[in-house]
Structure 1
Amino acid sequence: MGICLSIFGFSKPRSHDIHISASSDEDCYQPKPPKRPAQDRYNPPPQSAATKPAPTSKTSVKSQTTPTPFSASNIGPVLRKPYVDITKIYDLDKELGRGQFGTTYLCTEKATRRKYACKSISRGKLVTESDIEYVRREILILQHLAGQPNIVEFRGAYEDKENLHVVMELCSGGELFDRIIAKGSYSEKEAAAIMRQIVNVVHVCHFMGVMHRDLKPENFLLASNDDKAPIIATDFGGSVFIEEGKVYQDLVGSAYYIAPEVLKRSYGKEIDVWSAGIILYILLSGAPPFWAETEKGIFEAVLEGNLDLENPPWPDISSSAKDLIRKMLTRDPKSRITASQALQHPWMKVDGDASDKPIDSAVLARMKQFRAMNKLKKLALKVIAESLSEEEIKGLKQMFKNMDTDGNGTITYDELKTGLSRLGSKLTEVEIQQLMDAADVDNSGTIDYVEFITATMHRHRLEKEEHLYKAFQYFDKDGSGFITRDELRQAMAQYGMGDEATIDEVIEDVDTDKDGKINYEEFASMMRKGTQDSTINLT
């Protein structure tokens, strides 16, 4: 079962944004212009929201219970509102999934008996003010985008003394690519219907002053199991409100889908169109255009920009589709097509150039392989993330301050070497240099805070043998030294991540010696390669 979960602010719409007509389309949820009127950018008041008077019983929601008497001690530090006992509003049911910061539950609203997803985030995991601001911003963005087509429905956020609870729409139809693979075949016309919804999400976000910054297939779920269920965009954790004239520098996104200007630390909202273009490329070919064995290699391929539209299956793909891909993956952001313009492209239109001819079955086979590897690694990362203590997460952030001895916001090789040694690290000089090279994405010769956290969290999760082995043991329930088909089925079923076909694909792709099971060496090799989703971790 999929989970629509993710989280605020406004910006004036661009005068050149093109409104999309709401003509009917039986194949997909038709793109529409934003329903809300344009609003000025949100500017938070200088005083904390906690200084505002508490809501009276007359204005509070009936089912919501707030502490009395009102006092500063009853104000939550994250939402800056009175504590709320969520169990007075929702029944928390079975666990749907776990992540580094919290657990997601199926929940039922007491008043209506409607089912939603509730992500409970441990306040102990929000260790810095930036963590708290990150969550607040996501909530604000989801509130701002509420009611828009193809965007997850935000129900509410509640805080008690232990957790922050975010209640969202429950998307029971699963992940987009899983639905495509399960169907067994599809045409360009069906791919166009999917892309209209994805690009419309980008259009709506940009029109309303939001940059998503992490578009990828995993963030698009189906609202239900119905064949015509709309696609829902989730996870706005990396999103920001667009500030006019600002050049963004944060390293965000996921490796395969990241735009070259992000790696160059100078970008704007155009990066979302690039990411959508990568999704379109995968839909039509079964694999991403920029691929390598490591995350660093993927970044290098993105920067080189060799876009293959000549080799199979591309000779069988329409010239109109390839034209749209070229325009969405134009390297110069200023020349790149906008989301609103992409929706008007002949291939994208309802009765446009997209062909009814089924796409080559080899494309679906490649997509199965790509998704299978992603799924096993995604599940393994969940296991590893759960094993990290609050102190380990907090410690990574403190490490940077300890190493940046001159306090200039960057770390040199000597500072890194000295700092790691002072903190008791056993890394060799070769490993330190490898860490430096991998972290210094912009080739400045130094590591800034974001680069450091990215590299250390990546190493912390994937390259520490004890974490890898702990993840392997999670799957190897009987301690035989192998992950069997039954053990894989049990683990993936627990997280609602795969059916028999997916299990077959995982075994086939990871089991290199073809003995029908996965040993530790095969598992570790899969985890360290770049053939899976490689999200840049900024926490």
Structure 2
Amino acid sequence: MGTKFSSLSKSKKQKQPKERTSKKRHHDRNMSRKQESVALITDHLSDVREKYHIQPKELGHGHYGVVRKCQERESGAWFAIKSIRKKKVGKIDVLKREIDILKEVTHPNIINLHEVYEDEKYLHLVTELCTGGELFDRIIAKTQSKEGHFSEHDAAEIIKEIIEAIAYCHDVKHICHRDLKPENFLFETPDEHSKIKIIDFGLSRHEDTGPTHMMKTKVGTPYYVAPEVLNKEYDKSCDMWSIGVITYILLCGYPPFYGDNDHEIFASVRAAQYDYPSPEWDGISGKAKDFIDHLLKKDPKARLTAANALDHPWFSDLGVVDKSTLPKIKHGGSVNTEFRKYMAMSKLKKAALAHIATHLTNEEVKGLKEVFQAIDVDSSGTLTVEEIKDALANGGFTKNFNAELESIMDSLDVEGHHELNWEDFVSATIDKSTVMQEDKIRMAFHHFDRTNRGSISVKDLAGVFGSEHQAKEVMKDVDFNGDGVISYEEFHAMMEADADK
């Protein structure tokens, strides 16, 4: 066990960049401004420090840059900021792809990208702040504890959330992650049962359509990479192999495939031979081992898909998917009124509420995430009429809400479907006093004021709603003085206006 565990620890250390020589540092200091500059990644340069105060202390660092805590100057809201040295990035297109993917995904178990800034030297990704540390660090802490590993229930809770996020990536967004490992997950808070989030999509890509098309780039991290990736012909099922490896590690503290160097680790992965040695695995259930066995299949076609993995009895036997323990929504007879008010709101106000919803704290959300995930049985990231009606049939809502739910849902038009996503769900159900606070309204205003001019233009709105025509329609509803822009005062009045009017 000692050899296996030490090799896992070493993988963390190998991530760190090598110390540069004094000669190299001298060369860097004398590099000209022209040499430092690289092609634009976004559409314009801006100074992130004008909007955010960035703390000097590092939260973490990697080969390309550092992560720090930052505070939005006007709202006082805290975020994380990842500053990437552009000249260190070999393939700018890969970085652009990661940003595009982060902008595209919206899921409770995926880090939320708040804003992107770019100056001459750095690209700055402003994301939600997660304070619970890496999954890797919790694994190390567990191996040094009396138990030596996570309990089955705690491991199942973590793995279920990971699979829910990957099911959303695979089945809704058709994204293959390609580098799932404990270093790429953060806990939202230090709480023992905190939600977990995928934080890095640097090697991710959209899976091309077509039954015969396979990805061929050898990517990933040795301990977690699937055998077919080493052979450079694979599909999204490689992510499920990685989840199988992570599950194994959570339950015993060391990886199933190991070696003294990358060559030996790859040989072990290719052989796909592993066992459950005593005494670490003596108390682990047969269902847990069966779950792992169905993910660590050498034949990718024999592996569980993400959607099927969520139905494995390991989770239900441990009560991880028992919806009866989740908080109920207590809206009384006002639910239909609140939904109708929400649907009557202007498009800009809906978009603002959706943005605010992604930045609410756990306390402010008060269990709504758990309810949303309980209803979202296919982990699609959206609630359909059928899913909500099934949940209502099992209790938790009033009869009035159940009776009128379908007509309300039919009036929804979220991305062209009769579905409700997480942001709209929160916006339509949460107490409005929680979201209608000055700091949150100002935060939303700055989100739409993309050029930081102190007003929202038609061009800003076109970037949100997809066309200049839509932008002009929205502008007409909110630009009360007709000057062609939306001031903060007009935006604030829109947010506080009665939706029934």
Q: Which residue is equivalent to 1:101?
A: 64
Q: Which residue is equivalent to 1:137?
A: 97
SS at match of 2:201: coil
Instruction: Quote the offset at 1:145 in angstroms.
Output: 0.8
Alignment partner of 1:166 is 2:125: yes
Q: Which residue is equivalent to 2:358?
A: none
Which gives a bigger RCO, structure 1 or 2 (Cα 8 Å, sep 6+)? Answer: 1
Q: Give the letter for the 1:233 counterpart.
A: I
TM-score computed with the length of structure 2 as normaliser: 0.52
Instruction: Quote the offset at 1:351 in angstroms.
Output: 4.5
Measure the CA separation in 1 of the matches of 2:136 and 2:85: 31
After superposition, what is the alpha-carbon deviation per residue over 1:143-162, rounded to whole angstroms, capped at 9, x for unaligned? 1113x021111111111222
Is the 8 Å Cα contact of residues 157 and 320 (structure 2) preserved in structure 1?
A: no
1:118 to 81, 106, 109: 81
SS at match of 1:320: helix
2:310 to 332, 340, 343: 343
Q: Give the letter for the 2:151 counterpart.
A: S
Q: Which residue is equivalent to 2:174?
A: 209
Measure the CA separation in 1 of the matches of 2:307 and 2:254: 26
Measure the CA separation in 1 of the matches of 2:186 and 2:44: 33
Matches within 5 A, 1:260-275: 260-275=227-242
Q: Give the letter for the 1:114 counterpart.
A: A
After superposition, what is the alpha-carbon deviation per residue over 1:32-63, rounded to whole angstroms, capped at 9, x for unaligned? xxxxxxxxxxxxxxxxxxxxxxxxxxxxxxxx
SS at match of 2:316: coil
Instruction: Quote the offset at 1:311 in angstroms.
Output: 4.2
Structure 2 alignment gaps of length 5 or more = 1-36, 322-501
1:79 to 28, 41, 64: 41
Is the 8 Å Cα contact of residues 116 and 168 (structure 1) preserved in structure 2?
A: yes
Alignment partner of 1:197 is 2:161: yes
Instruction: Quote the offset at 1:95 in angstroms.
Output: 3.2
Q: Give the letter for the 1:143 counterpart.
A: K
Matches within 5 A, 1:252-267: 252-267=219-234
Q: Which is helix-richer, 1 or 2?
A: 2
Change in CA separation of 1:134 and 1:106 when aligned onto 2, cut-off 3 Å: same
Is the 8 Å Cα contact of residues 192 and 348 (structure 1) preserved in structure 2?
A: yes
SS at match of 2:214: coil
1:227 to 192, 200, 208: 192
Change in CA separation of 1:289 and 1:228 when aligned onto 2, cut-off 3 Å: closer
Instruction: Quote the offset at 1:242 in angstroms.
Output: 1.1
Measure the CA separation in 2 of the matches of 1:305 and 1:181: 24
Matches within 5 A, 1:17-416: 77-96=39-58, 97-126=60-89, 131-146=91-106, 148-179=107-138, 182=141, 184=145, 185=147, 186-207=150-171, 208-245=173-210, 246-309=213-276, 311-349=278-316, 351-352=318-319
SS at match of 2:170: helix
SS at match of 2:102: helix
Change in CA separation of 1:117 and 1:291 when aligned onto 2, cut-off 3 Å: same
Is the 8 Å Cα contact of residues 76 and 160 (structure 1) preserved in structure 2?
A: no
Q: Which residue is equivalent to 2:368?
A: none
Is the 8 Å Cα contact of residues 156 and 320 (structure 2) preserved in structure 1?
A: no
Structure 1 residue runs of 4 or more that deviate by more than 6 Å after TM superposition? none
Is the 8 Å Cα contact of residues 106 and 115 (structure 1) preserved in structure 2?
A: yes
Q: Give the letter for the 2:54 counterpart.
A: L
Q: Give the letter for the 1:83 counterpart.
A: L
Measure the CA separation in 2 of the matches of 1:235 and 1:308: 30
After superposition, what is the alpha-carbon deviation per residue over 1:334-354, rounded to whole angstroms, capped at 9, x for unaligned? 111101111110002374599
Is the 8 Å Cα contact of residues 272 and 296 (structure 2) preserved in structure 1?
A: no
CA RMSD, 1 decimal: 2.2
After superposition, what is the alpha-carbon deviation per residue over 1:497-533, rounded to whole angstroms, capped at 9, x for unaligned? xxxxxxxxxxxxxxxxxxxxxxxxxxxxxxxxxxxxx
Measure the CA separation in 1 of the matches of 2:136 and 2:82: 23
Measure the CA separation in 2 of the matches of 1:89 and 1:227: 33
Q: Give the letter for the 2:53 counterpart.
A: D
Instruction: Quote the offset at 1:166 in angstroms.
Output: 1.1
Q: Give the letter for the 1:241 counterpart.
A: H
Instruction: Quote the offset at 1:78 in angstroms.
Output: 3.1
Is the 8 Å Cα contact of residues 274 and 328 (structure 1) preserved in structure 2?
A: yes
SS at match of 2:53: strand
Measure the CA separation in 1 of the matches of 2:295 and 2:279: 20
SS at match of 2:55: strand
Change in CA separation of 1:316 and 1:104 when aligned onto 2, cut-off 3 Å: closer
Change in CA separation of 1:314 and 1:227 when aligned onto 2, cut-off 3 Å: closer
Measure the CA separation in 1 of the matches of 2:195 and 2:319: 20
Instruction: Quote the offset at 1:295 in angstroms.
Output: 0.6
Is the 8 Å Cα contact of residues 119 and 167 (structure 1) preserved in structure 2?
A: yes
Give the aligned length: 276
Instruction: Quote the offset at 1:321 in angstroms.
Output: 0.9
After superposition, what is the alpha-carbon deviation per residue over 1:461-494, rounded to whole angstroms, capped at 9, x for unaligned? xxxxxxxxxxxxxxxxxxxxxxxxxxxxxxxxxx
Q: Which residue is equivalent to 1:55?
A: none
After superposition, what is the alpha-carbon deviation per residue over 1:15-47, rounded to whole angstroms, capped at 9, x for unaligned? xxxxxxxxxxxxxxxxxxxxxxxxxxxxxxxxx
What is the percentage of aligned positions where both structures have the same residue? Answer: 42
Q: Give the letter for the 1:315 counterpart.
A: D
Q: Give the letter for the 1:260 counterpart.
A: P
SS at match of 1:92: strand
Q: Give the letter for the 2:260 counterpart.
A: E
